[in-house]
Amino acid sequence: MLPPDLQAKMNAVHRTRPNDDTKLLEVVTAYATSAHIPLEQAMVLGLGHFPVAGPAHWTHDWLLPRRGPPIHLHQGTDVWAAMGTPIRAPFAGRLRYEDGGLGGLAAYVTVADGTYYYLAHMAGTAPGLASGAHVTQGQIVGFVGDSGNARGGPAHLHFEVHPHGGAAVDPKPILDRWVDEAIVYAFALATNPTATTAPEPVVAAPEPVSPPRTATAPRRTARAASIGSRGNAAGQIFVIGSLLALCGGRVIRRTRAKLARAPDDE
């Protein structure tokens, strides 16, 4: 039974419809074709701030109950994608890995104003990266997995946004807006392949500050590294074209079917 105060917070959320990146991937593919460049290179710019480099979908699960333990309200958005799908840095910033707790193997990307992005349940880290590294927007920092308390469930990325280092805010509208912006921008790239300016940042208004999580050293390296290349100079982007061909709607449909089992992750 959910405590009354948590129930009230959950009920106060105005939930929006599920979303996915199908249209975005179509437009980015068109950009790659028009620019005569590999798809993985087109994704560096074309995906904008979106953190998953492959077929993905998500629902408005902000503040839905999670058993933990302890029982709590979901502080992020779960982005469902195939095991091993590359995870991107939403912005340029300082990288920190941790391994342990509910989130399992996770990455933090912190930008200049203290805002940080928390990316959890990873299957592995990107080869050559370690805590303290500076990453660029779109650089691969890990791979979608089921570590932590997501073990045994469908693979996904647990994604949080903490403006100015404070409390988490609802990331669903942020993800939705990033996808919409990236579609417009990728379409512009497709019609003008020489453009190189990235989309403007979109961050929700900050809420009261709470301390960030304590870091611990990562204990795992990339189990999913076999899906990609270790030497790609274009932001360490991995071979995503084959991932798209292998995954597609089939993976999305299968993952959605598994959602009948309510997740107990963060």
**Can you spell out the DSSP letters for 157-188?**
EEEEEEGGG-S-B--HHHHHHHHHHHHHHHHH
**Mean pLDDT of all residues in 48-69:** 91
> Across all residues in the chain, what is the average pLDDT?
80
- Contacts for 69 with CB less than 8 Å, ≥ 6 apart: none
pTM: 0.76
- Any domain includes 111: yes
- Sorting pLDDT into bands at 50, 70 and 90, what band is 8? confident
**Structural domain contains residue 7:** no
Percentage of the chain beyond pLDDT 90 is 59
pLDDT in the model for residue 183:
98
- Residue 164 domain flag: yes
158 occurs within a structural domain: yes
pLDDT (average), residues 157-179: 97
- Looking at residue 263, what is its pLDDT? 53
Token reading at 39: 């798809």
Report if residue 240 sits inside a domain. Answer: yes
Residue 72 lies in a domain: yes
Mean pLDDT of all residues in 28-57 = 96
What confidence score (pLDDT) does residue 250 get? 35
| Distance in angstroms (rounded) separating the CA atoms of residues 16 and 68 | 25
More confident residue, 246 or 57: 57
Query: What residues make up the domain containing 111?
Result: 19-258
169 — pLDDT class (breaks 50, 70, 90): very high
Question: Does some domain include residue 107?
Answer: yes
**Lowest-confidence range among 41-50, 192-201, 210-219?**
210-219
CATH number assigned to the domain comprising residue 121: 2.70.70.10
Q: Nearest 5°: CA angle at 80, between 42 and 21?
A: 40
What was the pLDDT predicted at 71?
A: 80
Instruction: Kindly indicate the confidence band of residue 49, based on its pLDDT and cuts at 50, 70 and 90.
Output: very high
Q: Is residue 137 in a domain?
A: yes
Number of domains composing the chain: 1
- What is the model's pLDDT at position 204? 42
- 26-44 CB burial, b ≥16 within 10 A, e <16: ebbbbbbeebeeebbbbbb
